[in-house]
Structure 1
Amino acid sequence: MDGISKAARVGQIIIGVVYIVAGAVKVWEPVLFYWEAIPYAQLLGVVEWETASAVAKAALVLGPIEFVLGWALLLNWQPRLCLPVATVLMAAFTALTAKAWHMGASIDCGCFGALVERGPGEAAIEDGVMVVVLLFAWWGMRRSANAAPVVDRPNWWGAGGAPIWPLTSRIVLGALAVGLVVGGVRFFPELERIAQSDLKSGVRLSGLALKGVDVDLMEGEYLIELFSPTCSHCKNAVPKMNVIAQDPQLPRLIALTSFAQDAPQVIDFKKQLQPRFDIATISLTDFRRLTFGHGFPRLAYIADGVVQQVWESNYMPTQARLREIMGS
């Protein structure tokens, strides 16, 4: 193999690793990926909630598919089939994220779940680059196959279309089985997180990136309020939240909204109501998964990233009750 063919093989290996990581994250956090898939289903014109939910559930198979496809690319298993499939799949991801970017959607790309949070713009550009790498790898594979005789002996460079190990087929099929089993085990026991939002006692708030506030919710105790600056109930709750926020015996209170920090609604909210607590921005995807079926405001007590207790808008705890819960 010449240098060009080897470079194409290196590109194939890199994309294989990307697919393995992306697939593994989706398999391990299927509920999070479900919520990330909902907005994309709606972008495609699926407006009715039950249909969008069904589409998002069907999209969960992408986790095992990406996982096994990544191993196939890495081990050069059936490259004539897997390289085209990987290229078409990445092109579809690029088109979908580009559409979300063009529409100005404030949603997570869903590519790497809680591991890396990216907006549609970043994802569209990076996915576009990976499409180019895959096309180069595909071309390099065809070029190598046409320029050299078929090689049956396993080899790292995949010369002649051969896999890198004799047992590659078993490894790839094993990866598919692992992806399906782990994904199912991780998803079906957590169905309640889909039916009643992802903000419930015992759930770890993974994949939640805050903008505007420098804090790590995975460490320490916090009170978080899900709110909208345009919601009348949220506005009415500000005096009570201010009392809670100014109590030194209670955990720090952080309000979470899907509105940007410089949005006129947030600016007016701060100017008119003078909140004494920090306001952080989260993606619309995260806001929906934490408020679905309940509305807002919602208040939750979390410790080291795990939800301990949740209160709804019609039953917010008093300052004394919170002190009692915190043992202060």
Structure 2
Amino acid sequence: MSVVEASKPTRGQSFWLDVVGTVARLGLAAVWLISGGIKAADPAQTWVAVHAYRVLPEMGVEVVAAVLPWFELALGVLLVIGVGTRLVAVLSGLVLLAFMAGVTQAWARGLYIDCGCFGGGGEVEPGATQYGTELLRDAGFLLLAAWLVVRPRSLFALDARLSPEGGS
């Protein structure tokens, strides 16, 4: 038996890895659908949240506030149906890293803002920020994305029907 054959998961192990992948895929989809839906429902508040970070010129704030909710919703839908899972996971990871960088720079600069990740956003009272918690939460979401980059295969995904490798 070769090293490659010995490292391949058994049928039972593969099933459980697929279950973990399904939970990761649907969990990350829920994050994007909820956050994108909340932002899409209140574009004015999304603008306030993006503006509060004080890193973009006005035109940049306009563009990000207008596009971000729909991009998040698109990521969520693609993950729910399981199409392009690895690519969507890579894009998710990049967006999460950008969000984490935004929160980190706001914290480092002493800004008092609500991240606006799941609605709300904008300036808050000193001491009302939860930067550490927000970064830990996003790190957890980043782990879901990383799992799907490494092993995109999951149950009930269209990737399995669209690719000869079964979505892996």
| Same fold at TM > 0.5 | yes
**1:137 and 2:142 equivalent?**
no
**Pairwise mapping of residues 65-214 of structure 1 onto structure 2 (< 5 A)?**
65-114=71-120, 119-141=130-152, 144=153, 156=156, 158=157, 161-162=160-161
What is the deviation of 1:160?
5.6
**1:30 and 2:43 equivalent?**
yes
Q: Give a deviation string over 1:26-53, Cα, whole Å, max 9, x none.
A: 101010010111122x2x3x5xxxxx32
TM-score by length of 2: 0.74
Q: Does structure 2 retain, via aligned residues, the 8 Å contact 1:97–1:120? A: yes
* Residue of structure 2 aligned with 1:59, choices 32, 56, 64: 64
Structure number having the greater helix percentage: 2
Aligned residue pairs: how many? Answer: 142
Structure number having the greater strand percentage: 1
Report the residue type matching 1:22 in the other structure. S
Question: Structure 2: where are the runs of 5+ without partners?
Answer: 1-13, 122-127, 163-168
SS of 2:38's partner is: helix
Structure number with bigger Rg: 1
Q: Does structure 2 retain, via aligned residues, the 8 Å contact 1:77–1:162? A: no
Higher mean displacement: 71-80 or 12-21: 71-80
What is the deviation of 1:159?
7.7
Higher relative contact order (CA 8 A, sep 6+): 2
SS of 2:117's partner is: coil
Q: Does structure 2 retain, via aligned residues, the 8 Å contact 1:23–1:63? A: yes
What is the deviation of 1:5?
2.9
2:23 corresponds in structure 1 to: 10
Distance 2:20 2:129 in 1: 28
Identical amino acids, percent of aligned pairs: 20
Q: Does structure 2 retain, via aligned residues, the 8 Å contact 1:20–1:67? A: yes
2:3 corresponds in structure 1 to: none
Change (3 A) 1:162 1:108: farther
1:238 corresponds in structure 2 to: none
Q: Give a deviation string over 1:192-238, Cα, whole Å, max 9, x none.
A: xxxxxxxxxxxxxxxxxxxxxxxxxxxxxxxxxxxxxxxxxxxxxxx
Report the residue type matching 1:56 in the other structure. V
SS of 1:2's partner is: helix
